Structure 1
């Protein structure tokens, strides 16, 4: 019998691996619904769905290995990063899903809310929070919505050599700012941005991507702390924020 591996677990959801199948258990059925629909629409490699019996979604493992992990250098080649950039470009150029995504006002309100919490709780020096709030302003501009993954962490992209073999975890997908995907993918791996954009092509705004690095790190910190993750680990969100100083 295959062993059960706990991939990630917190109060909102858990992901288990049994052999070549991942079991995603989520208390909100809307997340699985979005994931299933998004994977059916995305013009990039995605996992095969084995079955869906709420609250469990079973998907097949994808071949290859993750592009990297936050806090460690990516082992992938520049060509692999360029291939990922080309895949993300295909996604952003595809017809958008028919459900709404977050708007500019929503993003700005969440950013202000999370910055206030960080300041009130002295999670980081005030100067670090305020400087990154200034940098994040570059991301707070009207954008042309595209089909975005919404949570394109480096661990959600798999490659085999220089080929993209799968992109996983689509529960946040929908219309959104394409620069946010590029920023999330290179968060803590700023040195790989040139490789990514070599495959993505024109139209990327580096100032906006930098703004999203700060914005995502500020907004994510409270959630990470509250769910047992450590944004202060080397190379993670707090280091991203300090690097802007």
Structure 2
């Protein structure tokens, strides 16, 4: 969605923001427009969803409020409303820059920030999912896994109805830092209730396999070392990740299907993900 095509001040007025706020366009997602908003000495982020995306907006609002109440470093929701059939959220601005940018600039921070990255994810997964997410407790299992009945059955048997808060897009571009600690976790659009091992497997598959993450970083970072630091931090805070083979197979499947439209002309870019998925399916006897 092109941020500049939408009138940010009209959206803010629809949310009940009076006065003369200053809105600066930011790079949003495929179906999200974003601005940095300065108003009465405070800084916010304005997120405007695609038309009719009321469920997605409500889910992000509920999840961020639950995570904030649990003491996690997430934006606080200040206002929610609608402008011309487009739901919108006004949330607090999180200080810091992405882990990707920080590690490009200061690669010697790789190990301590990797540990902090893991600890923060374990803290997220220690939170019970809000009631809205619990209404569909197995939605993570079928997410982008249509036709994988054997894999889905195995995951149901292993997870035994766990309903932890899962981010499911926890990676270097969605986590902010001031160079010493994690200051924020953003983009909760994929959040679900489920087994923490799914969230951990999703993160490791993105770090190791996602062309969007690896390609701009591989010349700057030893992602394998960062992944090890993440695992150390996660397991110190959340315990060992046992019986994870089927979750790795699931995460590889999700990654391939999630990225396939982007790489229709470059299918070789997803070859590592295909090998990863097949390896872990074999180890899980699937």
* TM-score, normalization by structure 2: 0.61
RMSD between aligned residues: 3.8
Instruction: Please point out which of 87, 90, 97 is paired with 1:65.
Output: 97
Give 1:142's aligned residue.
158
The answer (yes or no) to whether the contact 1:151–1:172 under 8 Å persists in 2 is yes
Matching residue within 93, 101, 116 for 1:83: 116
Please give the residue correspondences for 1:95-134 in structure 2 after superposition, counting only pairs within 5 Å. Answer: 95-99=128-132, 100=134, 103=137, 107=141, 110-113=144-147
CA distance in 1, matches of 2:110, 2:66: 28
Instruction: Find the aligned partners of 2:177 and 2:27 in 1 and give their Cα distance.
Output: 22
In the comparison of the two structures, how many residue pairs are matched? Answer: 219
Structure 1 residues 2 and 171, CA gap change in structure 2 (3 angstroms): closer
- Which of 7, 27, 51 pairs up with 2:79? 51
Report the counterpart of residue 230 of structure 2 in structure 1: 196
Between the aligned partners of 2:184 and 2:140, the Cα distance in structure 1 is 30
Q: CA deviation at 1:236?
A: 6.5
Partner in structure 1 of residue 125 of structure 2: 92
Report if the CA contact (8 A) 2:260-2:267 is conserved: no
Residue 160 of structure 1, CA deviation: 1.7
Which residue is 1:8 aligned to? 29
The one of the two structures with greater contact order (alpha-carbon pairs below 8 A, sep at least 6) is 1
CA drift of 1:176 comes to 0.8
- How far apart are 1:198 and its partner, in Å? 1.9
Paired residue for 1:241? Answer: 274
167-176 or 138-147, which deviates more: 138-147
| CA gap 1:25/1:243 in 2 versus in 1, 3 angstroms | same
Whether the 8 Å CA contact 1:4–1:17 is kept in 2: the answer is: yes
The alpha-carbon deviation at position 6 of structure 1 amounts to: 3.4
Kept after mapping to 2: 8 A contact 1:213/1:240: no
Deviation at 1:218, TM superposition (A): 2.1
Matched with 2:45 is 21
5+ long unaligned stretches in structure 2? 1-21, 38-43, 209-223, 280-286
Highest Rg: 1 or 2?
2
Task: Tell me the CA shift for residue 103 of structure 1.
Answer: 4.9
Deviations 1:179-206 (A, max 9, x none): 1211222224342332112222253326
Deviations 1:73-120, CA, capped at 9 Å, x for gaps: x9552111211222222222223311326555972585243x69xxxx
**If each structure's helix is expressed as a fraction of its own residues, which one has the higher value?**
2
2:264 and 2:114 map into 1 onto residues whose CA distance is 24
Paired position in structure 2 for 1:205: 241
Instruction: For 2:177 and 2:268, locate their aligned partners in 1 and report how far apart those are by CA, in whole Å.
Output: 22
Question: 25, 32, 41: which is aligned to 2:57?
Answer: 32
The aligned counterpart of 2:219 is none
